[in-house]
């Protein structure tokens, strides 16, 4: 998929509006313990605490950091709304990603850090591996999913109203009535 | 204060707007003979205006740019050609699929010779009146006329009305970024001037780096990439579409404003959500002084409106994945073809539209990003099935959501209102680069 001679990057596989994005790194010698500690403290920041659902980067569906091969390797795996390659420079100039990068990737090989954006870009592209297979179980962007959740919450509130059954009898509300039974 | 720009080496057209109104002409030339090509460049170098002369007596400006094939025809060494941005090397026609230029907008439908490898040199001459335009156009003509190896292959007259309005009836050219070191203040006090390297090569850009620059330095520095696109506007189709969905002329005006993000006068919806305010529209101190942060759901200005898509300002600041300042551009659009008379909704078969002109240091992350991610797509606003209601490709049944209380309005089955007639990626070199090109001895 890559077009090496043109210098133009290609996004990974995508399903609907969402593209997969997976990075694989080598942990620097002796850096596994501080890396684990950094990931633990990341997990304890607002947005990353289990149940927070408000990561600083609002266009990814989820993110995981996996230490493997006896803590010698690190994988960062996520799903991004839009083609991630179009946003490469943005990642390095918008605050939250930067902070994340500096805290985590300082412990892996090849990361010399900012402000050399071109080097960071090369570092990321180097670590990126396109998935061999990718599937999703729901369509839609994070924004759409959040909207659906808000709409469903509102719908449940309506159903809890004493006159809900009566109100939903109106022919225009038929599609909602179909969803009201369970 | 930022780094000072070498204004006496930068072509004026990239940095400064011409005072409105004006008339102009675009010329495309093909270099059949290398020596004649270099002689042409030598002559053009003498009549191109550096940015430092702007605001002085001569109210005519000439800008010159080259395509990849143009630089090749001049004998620029291959190593140097290879150092240009990949998109520039490929040319606009090769990027058509990515840019959404398909179907009626596809390169196979483009006006000749646009998109062909014969397009080598692009010249824009703009002037405050016909007489002055004629004088300078004559100079440009003289620059190539007695050179048998230079062929004029395309000519397009253009103009800007005193009102600044273009074919759909809207005042255009308002939203522009300021550039550090250009000496011009921002028309949007909420937007810091861009680092010079966002627009002019050879200076640090918003990432803190020097943008990738063609080599040798004398060729790349103080130059900028230029995109031109001839965009046919289907004005009658646009008017009939609105008419069929409106109960009154006032409602048509509202729908039009929601589609663009500004009223026809130029007054932004963010500041004038309910009614046009022509005084605001024509006041350069106020008509670009706004943001969208107080209107995240788009009740004043729809999140899908053309101008809000093209420059979301602060609307995406919370997302943590996009830096709007990396996707700004200088626009130098002009009109072509006569305006469709007021009120007419029947197509008269006459070609009219805008020659869209972009100037910036990054073809991919400025022009192509805005076109593909923000105008052709709706993922970023959580509406993947919607594209720009005014300029989007609309190949399948496109819709446009207008947030309003109590219930949003949704326009369905938008036909395409804009058709690409052709265009090219060019490079507008500095004055010293023009000299370097003229003196090549390969
Ligand atoms: C026929 C095609 C087009 C028409 C009729 C059109 C018209 C307009 C109008 C009426 C405005 C609002 C006035 C202003 O702020 O200047 C505008 C703004 C803008 N347009 Fe377009 N446009 C077209 C194509 C494009 C394309 C292809 C791009 C970019 C790839 C683009 C980028 C912009 C930008 C960046 C703004 C300024 C937004 C701001 O800063 O608020 N336009 N356009």
pLDDT digits (tens, 9 = 90+) for A15-61: 999 999 999 999 999 999 999 999 999 899 888 888 888 888 899 99
Long-range contacts of A138-141 (CB under 8 A, 24+ apart): A139/A15, A139/A16, A139/A17, A140/A16, A140/A17, A140/B384, A141/A17, A141/A18, A141/A59, A141/A81, A141/B379, A141/B382, A141/B384
| Cα distance between residue A124 and residue A118, in whole Å | 10
**Rounded to a whole number, what is the distance in Å from the CA of B381 to chain A's nearest CA?**
7
Collect all residues from B whose CB is shorter than 8 A from any CB in A: 86-87, 89-90, 206-209, 318-323, 325-326, 364-365, 369, 372-373, 377, 379-384
pLDDT of residue A169: 94
A24-28, A53-57, B172-176, B416-420: segment of lowest average pLDDT:
A53-57
pLDDT of residue A10: 66
List the single residue in A91, A96, A141 with the smallest CB-CB distance to B382.
Answer: A141
Is 70 exceeded by the pLDDT of residue B106? yes
Distance from the CA of A33 to the center of ligand 1, in angstroms? 52
A14-127 CATH, one of 3.30.70.100, 3.90.650.10, 2.60.120.380, 3.30.56.10? 3.30.70.100
Check pocket membership of B262 for ligand 1, CB cut-off 6 A.
Answer: yes
Is 50 exceeded by the pLDDT of residue B289? yes
B137-141, B158-162, B340-344, B412-416: segment of lowest average pLDDT:
B137-141
Distance from the CA of B310 to the center of ligand 1, in angstroms? 7
Distance from the CA of B145 to the center of ligand 1, in angstroms? 36
Mean pLDDT, residues B370-398 taken together: 93
SS3 A60: strand
Cross-chain residue pair B207–A95, CB shorter than 8 Å: no
| Cα distance between residue B189 and residue B171, in whole Å | 20
Nearest CA to ligand 1 atom 7: B172
pLDDT of residue B55: 62
If one compares B141 and A7, the residue with the highest pLDDT of the two is B141
If one compares A166 and A11, the residue with the highest pLDDT of the two is A166
Does A56 contact B at CB distance below 8 Å?
yes
Check pocket membership of B357 for ligand 1, CB cut-off 6 A.
Answer: no
| % residues pLDDT > 90 (chain A) | 63
Check pocket membership of B235 for ligand 1, CB cut-off 6 A.
Answer: no
Is 80 exceeded by the pLDDT of residue A113? no
Check pocket membership of B306 for ligand 1, CB cut-off 6 A.
Answer: yes
Q: Is the dihedral of CA B68, B72, B77, B79 positive or negative?
A: positive
Distance from the CA of B174 to the center of ligand 1, in angstroms? 9
Instruction: Rank A111-120, B17-26, B252-261 by mean pLDDT and report only the highest.
Output: B252-261
Which are the contacts of B336, defined by CB distance < 8 A and separation ≥ 6?
Answer: B156, B157, B158, B159, B230, B351, B352, B353, B354, B355
Give pLDDT tens digits for B307-341.
999 999 999 999 888 999 999 999 999 999 999 99
Distance from the CA of B283 to the center of ligand 1, in angstroms? 18
If one compares A46 and B225, the residue with the highest pLDDT of the two is B225
Q: Where are the beta strands (DSSP E) in B237-368?
A: 330-331, 334-336, 353-360
* Chain centroid, CA A103 distance in Å: 17
Give pLDDT tens digits for A70-107.
999 999 999 999 999 899 888 878 766 777 777 898 99
In chain B, whose CA is at the least distance from the CA of A95? B320
pLDDT of residue A161: 97
Contact list, A8 vs chain B (CB under 8 Å): 86-87, 364
Distance from the CA of A127 to the center of ligand 1, in angstroms? 37
Q: Is the dihedral of CA B417, B421, B427, B431 positive or negative?
A: negative
Other beta carbons within 10 angstroms of residue B112's beta carbon come to: 10
pLDDT of residue B115: 97
Of residues B391, B358, B373, the one with CA closest to residue B176: B358
What confidence category does residue A8 fall into, taking pLDDT thresholds of 50, 70 and 90? very low
Largest CA distance in chain B: 70
Which are the contacts of B121, defined by CB distance < 8 A and separation ≥ 6?
Answer: B27, B28, B29, B30, B31, B40, B64, B65, B66, B67, B70
Contact list, A87 vs chain B (CB under 8 Å): 321-322
Long-range contacts of B94-100 (CB under 8 A, 24+ apart): B95/B368, B95/B425, B98/B368, B98/B372, B99/B368, B99/B371, B99/B372, B99/B376, B100/B371, B100/B372, B100/B376, B100/B392, B100/B393
Output phi, psi for A104, to 5 deg: -95, -50
Contact list, B364 vs chain A (CB under 8 Å): 8
Contact B239, B264 (CB under 8 A): no
Mean pLDDT, residues B391-419 taken together: 93
If one compares B17 and A166, the residue with the highest pLDDT of the two is A166
pLDDT of residue A5: 36
A145-149, A158-162, B123-127: segment of lowest average pLDDT:
B123-127
Does A143 contact B at CB distance below 8 Å?
yes
SS3 B49: coil
Is 90 exceeded by the pLDDT of residue B145? no
Check pocket membership of B309 for ligand 1, CB cut-off 6 A.
Answer: no
| % residues pLDDT > 90 (chain B) | 83
Mutate to test the interface with A, among B322, B360, B373, B383 (most CBs of A within 10 A): B322
pLDDT of residue B146: 85
Of residues B133, B149, B164, B134, the one with CA closest to residue B39: B149
Is 70 exceeded by the pLDDT of residue B2? no
The rounded mean pLDDT for chain A is 88
pLDDT of residue A9: 55
SS3 B35: helix
Does A93 contact B at CB distance below 8 Å?
yes
Does A86 contact B at CB distance below 8 Å?
yes
Does A147 contact B at CB distance below 8 Å?
yes
Structure tokens at B265: 């006068």
Query: Global pTM?
Result: 0.96
**Region for residue B63 given its phi and psi (left: phi exceeds 0; alpha: psi -120 to 50; beta: otherwise):** beta
pLDDT of residue B58: 59
The three-point CA angle A121-A126-A131 to 5° equals 115
Contact list, A100 vs chain B (CB under 8 Å): none
């Amino acid at each position: 998929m890559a077009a090496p001679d043109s210098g133009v990057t290609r996004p990974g596989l995508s399903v609907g509006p969402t593209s997969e994005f997976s990075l694989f790194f080598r942990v620097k010698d002796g850096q596994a313990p501080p890396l684990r500690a950094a990931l633990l403290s990341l997990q304890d920041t607002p947005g990353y605490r289990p149940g927070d659902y408000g990561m600083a980067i609002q266009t990814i569906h989820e993110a995981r950091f996996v230490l493997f091969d006896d803590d010698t390797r690190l994988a960062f795996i996520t799903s991004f709304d839009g083609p991630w390659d179009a946003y490469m420079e943005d990642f390095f100039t918008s605050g939250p990603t930067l902070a994340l990068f500096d805290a985590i990737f300082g412990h892996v090989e090849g990361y010399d850090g900012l402000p050399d954006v071109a080097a960071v870009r090369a570092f990321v592209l180097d670590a990126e591996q396109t998935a061999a297979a990718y599937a999703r179980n729901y369509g839609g962007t994070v924004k759409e999913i959040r909207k659906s959740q808000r709409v469903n919450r509102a719908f449940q509130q309506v159903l809890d109203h004493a006159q809900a059954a009566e109100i939903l009898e109106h022919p225009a509300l038929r599609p909602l009535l179909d969803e009201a039974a369970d | 204060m930022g780094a000072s720009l070498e204004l006496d080496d930068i072509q004026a057209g990239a940095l400064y707007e011409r005072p409105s109104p004006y008339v102009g002409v675009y010329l495309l030339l093909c270099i059949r003979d290398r020596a004649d090509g270099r002689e042409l460049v030598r002559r053009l170098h003498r009549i191109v205006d550096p940015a430092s002369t702007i605001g002085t007596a001569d109210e005519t400006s000439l800008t010159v740019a080259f395509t990849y094939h143009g630089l090749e025809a001049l004998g620029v060494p291959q190593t140097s050609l290879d150092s240009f941005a990949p998109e520039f090397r490929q040319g606009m026609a090769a990027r058509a699929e990515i840019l959404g230029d398909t179907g009626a907008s596809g390169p196979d439908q483009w006006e000749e010779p646009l998109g062909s490898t014969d397009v080598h040199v692009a010249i824009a001459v703009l002037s405050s009146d016909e007489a002055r335009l004629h004088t300078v156009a004559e100079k440009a003509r003289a620059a190539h006329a007695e050179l048998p190896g230079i062929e004029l292959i395309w000519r397009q007259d253009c103009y800007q009305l005193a009102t600044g309005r273009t074919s759909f009836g809207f005042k255009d050219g308002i939203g522009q970024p300021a550039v550090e070191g250009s000496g011009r203040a921002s028309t949007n006090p909420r937007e810091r001037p861009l680092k010079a390297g966002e627009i002019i090569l050879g200076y640090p850009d918003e990432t803190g780096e020097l943008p990738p620059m063609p080599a040798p330095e004398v060729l790349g520095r103080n130059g900028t990439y230029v995109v031109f696109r001839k965009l046919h506007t289907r004005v009658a189709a646009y008017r009939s579409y609105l008419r069929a969905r409106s109960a009154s002329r006032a409602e048509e005006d509202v729908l039009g404003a929601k589609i663009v993000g500004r009223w026809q006068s130029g007054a932004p919806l963010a500041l004038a959500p309910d009614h046009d305010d022509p005084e605001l529209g024509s006041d350069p101190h106020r008509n670009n002084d706004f943001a969208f942060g107080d209107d995240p759901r788009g009740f004043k200005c729809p999140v899908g409106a053309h101008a809000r898509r093209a420059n979301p300002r602060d609307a995406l600041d919370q997302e943590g994945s996009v830096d709007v300042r990396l996707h700004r551009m200088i626009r130098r659009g002009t009109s072509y073809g006569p305006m469709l008379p007021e009120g007419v909704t029947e197509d008269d078969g006459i070609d009219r539209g805008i020659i869209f002109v972009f100037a910036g240091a990054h073809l991919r992350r400025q022009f192509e990003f805005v076109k593909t991610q923000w105008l052709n797509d709706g993922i970023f606003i959580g509406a993947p099935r919607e594209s720009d209601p005014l300029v989007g490709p609309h190949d399948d049944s496109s819709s446009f959501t207008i947030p309003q209380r109590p219930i949003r309005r949704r326009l369905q089955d938008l036909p395409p209102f804009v058709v690409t007639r052709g265009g090219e990626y060019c490079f507008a070199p500095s004055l010293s680069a023009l000299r370097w090109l003229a003196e090549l001895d390969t």
